[in-house]
Every structure is written in structure tokens, then in C-alpha cells.
């Protein structure tokens, strides 16, 4: 059983997936941030590979990408960060990237590097399932869960194709648009969860706009298996770039509150 599957095995409360950009604000501090998120109770760590054109991301994560790139972060750096975090914890690590990065590195090399560094899964944000054949064989060969995005606009044919090829969990997009903290969870989320659940036993993780404990409680009520939070975490990092001690304290408190909300159950 994969590390991701183990997180959801026998679980009756939503898992918490914490996202940050690898290398933000610099590689060494990024490792310490990852360790803080793990220690605070995150169930899965999602690391973004910084990219110059992150079309799925809002301004908070875009600025994090810029900071990481300015600090010299490359895919090689990201895999080294994964290695350091893997030596620290058995927590599942998922990478979020864009297809340009995968293609430029070489698809097989990218998947082998994920395997060798200790990553468990990958989301390629701009890769539709119709164009995924080139990566799926490598994901299976190297034991990497290929995670796909599903939105309320995803048609039935595409949904069925995604479910045939997906691993790890299904990433449900809670709203139309880019990432970023929102005031409330979209009212369409319960219907989306129920619709996708009809066709799969894979865990359903909801992201985009999830930023408050009440959002996690709403996802629990909707039957989601996990909440994914990124922009709110990256926002804390950005707010305290000049004070690491306060940054770490706020990250631990925030993640602790989000995890506690999930642990309240459905």
C-alpha cells in the first residue's frame, strides 16, 4: 500500500494536505517550513515546483514562485528538498508542477527523480487526461500516483477517463478560477463530491480557496476525504519573511487549527 493510501485507510475524518512552494523563500528555509508543517499535523505535504507561468495559481502563489526562482531554486533543488524531508518523515509528499517542467527534464527522468527522492505523487496542473498517455507508463513504472484535477465543469467522458487513470486521490477544484484564499466554500462542492463519489472509491480532496477551519468542517459535512490549503499557508510565509520565529509559530498554529477542524469528523 502506498504512503498516500495509508493516510486514508480506515479514516473517518478529512485529512489535511498542506501546500507550499519548494524553495520559497529560499531552499534552506523551505526545508524548515516543510518540517514545521509536518510537525504541526499535516497528513500530506504538497510541494509546488516553482515555474515562471503558473497559470492555475493566484497572486500569492505566483509571488512565492518568483521568490523561489530568485533564490536559485531549480527542479534539482526541489528533488533535494524532497530528499531532506523524506529523511525527516514518512509523510506522503506530492509534487505540483506544469508539463513544461516535466517535458524539458525528460519525462522518464522526471518520474525516476521523483521516485529516487522519495516523492509519492504528482499533479501536473496543465495536463489534461487526454494528453497524459506519455506520462502514465512512467508513473506506474516508478510507483508515482498520478493525481488529476476534476472541476464542476468536467464532462462525463473526461471524468470517466480521469478515474480510469488516476491514483492517490482525486483533486476536486472547489471553484472556477485560480488558487487563492476565499471567504466561504462554494455551494457547488457538496454536489461535486456526491457526483464523483458515485463513480470511484479513490479519496476526494478539495482544494482552491480552502483557508479557514470552518471550510474544513464544511468539507467534512460534504463528505470530502481531504482539504487542501495552499495560499493561506504561503500568505503566512510571505507575511513573516523577516522573522522566521514568528513565521514558524504562525504556521504551526494555523495548521494545528485546520487539522483540529478536520478531526471533529463528519
Known catalytic membership, residue 57: yes
Nine cell digits for residue 242: 523577516
The residue whose grid cell reads 517550513 is 33
Per the residue annotation, which of 43, 46, 145, 250 is the catalytic one? 46
Query: Buried b / exposed e across 167-192, counting CB within 10 Å, b at 16+?
Result: bbbbbbbbbeebbbbbeebbeebbeb
Cβ–Cβ under 8 Å, residues 206 and 193: yes
Beta strands in 121-264 (DSSP E): 121-124, 145-147, 149-150, 170-173, 204-207, 226-229
| Active-site option among 57, 113, 120, 250 | 57
Distance CA 266, CA 260 (A): 13
Indicate if 253 belongs to the active site. Answer: no
205: left (phi over 0), alpha (psi -120 to 50) or beta: beta
Catalytic residues: 46, 57
Amino acid at each position: 500500500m502506498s504512503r498516500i493510501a495509508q493516510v486514508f485507510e480506515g479514516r473517518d475524518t478529512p485529512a489535511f494536505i498542506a501546500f507550499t512552494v519548494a524553495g520559497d523563500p529560499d531552499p534552506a528555509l523551505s526545508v524548515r517550513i516543510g518540517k514545521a508543517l509536518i510537525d504541526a499535523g499535516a497528513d500530506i505535504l504538497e510541494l509546488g515546483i516553482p515555474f515562471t507561468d503558473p497559470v492555475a495559481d493566484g497572486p500569492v502563489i505566483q509571488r512565492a514562485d518568483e521568490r523561489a526562482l530568485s533564490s536559485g531554486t531549480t527542479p534539482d533543488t526541489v528533488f533535494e528538498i524532497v530528499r531532506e524531508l523524506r529523511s525527516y518523515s514518512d509523510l506522503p509528499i506530492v509534487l505540483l508542477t506544469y508539463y513544461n517542467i516535466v517535458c524539458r527534464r525528460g519525462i522518464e527522468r522526471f518520474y525516476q527523480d521523483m521516485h529516487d527522492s522519495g516523492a509519492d505523487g504528482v499533479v501536473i496542473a496543465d495536463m489534461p487526461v487526454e494528453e497524459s498517455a506519455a506520462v502514465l507508463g512512467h508513473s506506474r513504472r516508478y510507483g508515482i500516483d498520478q493525481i488529476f484535477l476534476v472541476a464542476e465543469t468536467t464532462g462525463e467522458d473526461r471524468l470517466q477517463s480521469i478515474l480510469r487513470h488516476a491514483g492517490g486521490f482525486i483533486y476536486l477544484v472547489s471553484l472556477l478560477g485560480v488558487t487563492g484564499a476565499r471567504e466561504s466554500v462554494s455551494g457547488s462542492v457538496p454536489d461535486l463530491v456526491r457526483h464523483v463519489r458515485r463513480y470511484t472509491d479513490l479519496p476526494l480532496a478539495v482544494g482552491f480557496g480552502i483557508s479557514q477551519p470552518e471550510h474544513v468542517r464544511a468539507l467534512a459535512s460534504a463528505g470530502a476525504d481531504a482539504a487542501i490549503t495552499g495560499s493561506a499557508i504561503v500568505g503566512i510565509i510571505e507575511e513573516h519573511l523577516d522573522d522566521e520565529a514568528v513565521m514558524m509559530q504562525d504556521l504551526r498554529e494555523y495548521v494545528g487549527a485546520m487539522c483540529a477542524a478536520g478531526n471533529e469528523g463528519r
